[in-house]
Amino acid sequence: MSAEALHTTPSSIMLDLPALHVVPRLDAARFDDQLQRLLRHAGIAPVQPTLVAGLPGDEAQGPTVYTRIGAVQLYIDRHVEDVRDLAQLAAQAQLSKYHFSRCFREVIGQSPWAYVQAARLRRAKALLHDPDRSLTDVALDAGFYDQSHFIRAFKQAEGVTPGAYREAILGADAEGEATQA
């Protein structure tokens, strides 16, 4: 090995690399405003940017971590049936899995998987209003792996099975229609 090879510095290595395409950064404040409007329009409680400022190690990132977490929150609510693992969500935020998990918990107030589970249950509750949709279809369309996983999670969260919940809401809907007629 030559003496020149032993004394290669990172800067000299960087000079030999091909030029990288640089993407201009979005105006963080404008992006935050647009994200907040989208979250309000979608009926999602916006997160507070002041929480992100207190995250250790994120002082230089400021609101960008907040906007990334907010964007992932919006993604989860819109595409909960497609969410499969933490790595997918972390990649969406362009953060490592561990940093993403820590930041998500700090900003949203619960772990990413607890939020995904709650989003799946919200979607399932909405789908249960359709009497023609089977419980298996509701489970799969809400992002659960199978019907038994769905029933177990629903009963743990709501205290009743999805079938009992459906009967209760459809009975209430029928009573409401009868009183209006």
Residue 25 has pLDDT above 80, yes or no: no
Percentage of the chain with pLDDT > 70?
60
- Domain containing 144 equals 118-180
pLDDT bracket for residue 31 (50, 70, 90): low
Top pLDDT among 89 and 171 is at 89
Domain termination site, one of 109, 142, 163: 109
State whether 144 and 99 are in the same domain.
no
Report if residue 47 sits inside a domain. Answer: yes
Rounded mean pLDDT of 53-57?
A: 45
| Helix axes 147-158 and 112-127, enclosed angle (nearest 10) | 100
Considering the domain boundaries, does residue 45 fall inside one?
yes
- Residue 92 and residue 34 share a domain: yes
Over residues 135-176, the pLDDT tens digits come to 999 999 999 999 999 999 999 999 999 999 999 998 876 666
Find the DSSP H helices in the chain.
Answer: 3-6, 10-16, 28-41, 49-53, 63-79, 86-93, 97-108, 112-127, 135-141, 147-158, 162-180
Residue 144 lies in a domain: yes
Question: pLDDT confidence of 43, banded at 50, 70, 90?
Answer: low
pLDDT of amino acid 65? 87
CA gyration radius for the chain? 23
d(CA 63, CA 160): 40
Tokens for 106, please give them.
Answer: 């700090």
How many separate domains does the chain show?
Answer: 2
Tell whether 50 is covered by a domain: yes
Are 134 and 64 contained in the same domain?
no
Half-sphere exposure of 26 (CA within 13 A, CB side): 12
Assign residue 174 the CATH number of its domain: 1.10.10.60
Residues 37 and 105 in one domain: yes
Neighbours of 65 (CB within 10 A): 25
